[in-house]
Structure 1
Amino acid sequence: MDNLTGKILTELREKHGWSKSTVAKKLGLKAMSTYANWEYGLRKPDGEMIVKIAELYGVSTDYLLTGKDKGRPDDDLADDPDLQIAFKAASDFSEEARRQTIDFINYIREKEKQKGRQPKKRDDN
């Protein structure tokens, strides 16, 4: 049985400094062993519990199940203040202005490629 979710649960729990018992209580489980079995990969939480766990840890359900958060931008992008300003400014663009912006970004990307500069690889494939 694939235990990716169990590894992710363990990582998140340890990152928060919580014991298995603490997490089980926070999730309203009657027995700590239920949670422990998820971490060990012996059982998997149901869909409703995946949602509760995601809310508890502040992550997406995608992240719990796959280790990737498809709905979240790359951390580099999210932490770049210039890009945050640009995205905020573009948030109320018309559909035509958004299309033009995307076309311009693609144009710049192509120019960078021609100069031999490669874009950063993204690992969300």
Structure 2
Amino acid sequence: EGGLPQKYDADGNVAIASSPKEVRTFNGADYVLEESLTPDFGLVHAWKGDRHGNLVFHATAMNFNPLCAMAARITIAEVEELVEPGELDPQHIHTPGIFVQRVVVAPDTEKRIEKRTVALTGKTGA
């Protein structure tokens, strides 16, 4: 229905309220349509890449990095290993170079999130 505050005036009253959202029906259910957000910059970290921006991710980096690279206006990729164009197997490229505008080589980046932690096992208690 709209009406959510977007801007307040000096007295704290609603100066600009949101307009109603578009609602469409699919298979008998009503859905509210929202516009997507387009970020100016997307920063991604890849395992391998070439100077054309073709990227290969490792393990869980596949979860969101390809989506972040495709969503941004300008994507900056930090790669651990920069290879020559043609060295990457086309079937293993996760993000094609069309989505990447800049490539930065960072071979010895510390990966603090990948620190192994081990919990003590065994019985504890009374």
Shorter-chain TM range is: under 0.3
* TM-score, structure 2 normalization: 0.21
**Higher fraction of strand:** 2
Structure of greater Rg = 2
